[in-house]
Structure 1
Amino acid sequence: MSLFPLSTLSQLDGLADRLPAFDNEAAEAARTRQGQLTKPPGSLGRLEDLAVFMAGWRVTDRPRIGKAQAIVFAGNHGICAQGVNPFPQSVTAQMVANYEHGGAAINQLCRANGAELSAVAIDLDRPTRDFTQGPAMDEAETLEALNRGAASVNPKADVLILGEMGIGNSTIAAALASALFGGDVADWVGRGTGSDDAGVARKISAIERGLERHQGLSAAQTLAALGGREQAAICGAVLAARLYRIPVLLDGFICTASAAPLFGVDARLLEHCLVGHVSAEPGHRKILGHLGKDPILGFDMRLGEGTGAALALGILRSALECHNGMATFSEAGVDEAHEDDTTMDAAQ
């Protein structure tokens, strides 16, 4: 299917009908295999669900992870002019260099869990505009970042981990979430990289002014008006992964909020996405409720960079090792339970 590059944001409408869908036949075959493995049915809990999820998207009853790709998208934000960031914007480029030299937490977690990491910095010398004064990006800028994100996805990957880096982007995430899902702005705002009470108040004020300025927009227009280049790139990567039938592991609050405009366009556009962990940022559990997604892990992490998603990759790999490597009852020569078997309690 020819999809990228997108030339207008309106092309997102109706896209869910054109993209590959979950393959129920492969998923059912995986469920059948789960029922034949040497364990009581359902005894591996969500590990079984994850194996079936992978089967449906990879269209095989025996899905495997040969290549795991991890991408950290980085961008800078004009909203920093409102004093929402305790760290200077120069840190964004410095952290990208840290990823490239292998010194960040995401490097270690990708190595430990078998993912190939790349950092994609998008015009760090050209921050988006301050959304309290006007749209953060115009349509052309949004599409440029979105298409760059899509082009970064390896079609041969079996799973995609997404993360972000951008000083000020916890404010961007809270603004997107508030615009898309409503509610009190303060409920979406956390301390990010360490804002004090005054910093949190500045975040809330900036978002409230931005929401007042940018009303009545579609989800795609909201991405342009309030988002950033790394947010648009994450949306593009999610769409490209769907095109290639690659399941996605989203990271924490900022990453999930970055993908949320796609949910606003059509909830089906995030069906192939898992959420690696629930962040300690207060807005993350709230946004997961709106998306109807359960996180794989809850470790009180809030670093970003894709770290929670990379850690969850180990769980996903474990799910598939059990699914593919366990013997069936017949292979192991183990007697299966019968429907008329009684429980130990009943026998007593």
Structure 2
Amino acid sequence: MPAPLNAAYADVLDLLTIMPEGDEAAVAAIRAHDAKLTKPAGSLGQLEKLVEFLGRWQGKAKPTLDNPMVTIFAGNHGVTDQGVSAFPREVTAQMVANFTAGGAAISQICALHEINLRVFELALELPTGDITREAALDDRMCAATIAYGMEAIAGKPDLICIGEMGIGNTTIASAIYAALFGGTGADWVGRGTGVDDAGLARKADAVDRALAFHGDELHHPLAILARVGGREIAAMLGAIIATRQQKVPVIIDGFVATSAAAIAFAVNPAAIDHCIFAHVSAEGGHAKVLQAMGVHGLLNLGMRLGEGSGAALAAVLAKTALHLHNNMATFDGAGVSTSEG
């Protein structure tokens, strides 16, 4: 019989169980205004739904995007010792410096579209345990890292985009998905940083060995996070929890970021109601996990970059949608008839 869940997670479980609901009165007010705009009802499709999403979770009949933020959580992984990545884990810190210097794709997207960018470095000098032979994190460290991720709401953003950076973390995400939803490593792994066929086989094997090694210890979503997860994934889970408590809407990025949402979903499916999923990653397992959670990706651009890039592009759409909602003329104001005459 598996051991009970460590008491270190008591507060996390409480926060994932008792959480605010969305504001349907705000949504009704948004729909009423939308009906007055100079366009056929529903003709802006998902753009209209994006405004409703913002209003529902901000609790505002007039939602705002005055302080949107992309948060990147960066961590390193011991499983890279298994040859699962095309790059060494030193690249994680190098890319973090590139984010800060403005040279990365996400840096340029944020600069162009006036979205704040914040990077959380998670003990990059101390990789997690190699999941094929030990736990990634002990329970206390995992719970503390979840709590650290809750700091993402500092600065009072009105929208948070959640992304990550971590060499080896597509293997980690695949292990989480296999533990949560079943299947083998081969069912979930993709090419990640661009590994060749031999590298892909090593990834699948690493996931299978991790699942076998941890066995009955993978009995609860939070135990799965500690045993085969990573610091950046734990911190992203913390950000998802904190945003719900503070009623901040969330856009989740791709394959790896979704694994944090999957942990929350597995504890309480309603825990991700305040999240939308930016895109369907080119990593094949991403579409599968979105389907398992009953959600869909807003975009499908064949992207697999990570670093919050897809989420930032979805935020650009949200900014556009809100601008249209606030600035289009109404039928009365423009003198446009709403019926044949």
Bin for the TM-score computed over the shorter chain? over 0.9
- Cα distance in 2 for residues equivalent to 1:185 and 1:91: 24
- Aligned partner of residue 25 in structure 1, secondary structure: helix
Q: Where does 1:180-329 land on structure 2 (aligned, <5 Å)?
A: 180-216=180-216, 217-329=219-331
* Contact 2:77 2:127 (8 Å CA) reproduced: yes
Q: Deviations along 1:220-244, whole A, 9 cap, x unmatched?
A: 1111111000000100111111122
Aligned-residue Cα RMSD (Å) equals 1.5
- The runs of 4+ residues in structure 1 deviating greater than 4 Å are none
Match of 2:4 in 1: none
Report the alpha carbon displacement of residue 302 of structure 1 after superposing the two structures with TM: 0.6
Match of 2:89 in 1: 89
Match of 2:142 in 1: 142
* Contact 1:84 1:202 (8 Å CA) reproduced: yes
Q: Deviations along 1:145-199, whole A, 9 cap, x unmatched?
A: 1111111323521100111111100100111111111134312110000111111
* Contact 1:231 1:259 (8 Å CA) reproduced: no
- Cα distance in 2 for residues equivalent to 1:337 and 1:234: 49
Q: Where does 1:38-117 land on structure 2 (aligned, <5 Å)?
A: 38-117=38-117
Q: Which amino acid aligns with 1:152?
A: A
Report the alpha carbon displacement of residue 14 of structure 1 after superposing the two structures with TM: 4.4
- Aligned partner of residue 71 in structure 2, secondary structure: strand
Q: Deviations along 1:83-110, whole A, 9 cap, x unmatched?
A: 2122111111111111111111110011
What TM-score comes out, normalization by structure 1 length? 0.92
Match of 1:3 in 2: none
Q: Does 1:177 align with 2:177?
A: yes
* Contact 1:38 1:328 (8 Å CA) reproduced: yes
Match of 1:15 in 2: 15
- Cα distance in 1 for residues equivalent to 2:67 and 2:305: 24
Report the alpha carbon displacement of residue 112 of structure 1 after superposing the two structures with TM: 1.7
Percent of pairs identical after alignment?
Answer: 45
Report the alpha carbon displacement of residue 259 of structure 1 after superposing the two structures with TM: 2.3
Structure 2: tracts of 5 or more residues without a match: 1-6
* Contact 2:16 2:267 (8 Å CA) reproduced: no
Match of 2:337 in 1: 335
Structure 1: tracts of 5 or more residues without a match: 1-6, 342-348
- Aligned partner of residue 162 in structure 1, secondary structure: strand
Q: Deviations along 1:114-152, whole A, 9 cap, x unmatched?
A: 211121111111111011112111111112211111113
- Aligned partner of residue 289 in structure 1, secondary structure: helix
Match of 1:37 in 2: 37
- Cα distance in 2 for residues equivalent to 1:269 and 1:54: 17
- Aligned partner of residue 19 in structure 1, secondary structure: coil
- Aligned partner of residue 157 in structure 2, secondary structure: coil
Q: Deviations along 1:13-51, whole A, 9 cap, x unmatched?
A: 343453221111111111111122111111111111111
What TM-score comes out, normalization by structure 2 length? 0.94
- Aligned partner of residue 88 in structure 1, secondary structure: coil
Report the alpha carbon displacement of residue 323 of structure 1 after superposing the two structures with TM: 1.3
Q: Which amino acid aligns with 2:279?
A: H
Q: Deviations along 1:259-282, whole A, 9 cap, x unmatched?
A: 210111101111111111111111
- Aligned partner of residue 8 in structure 1, secondary structure: helix
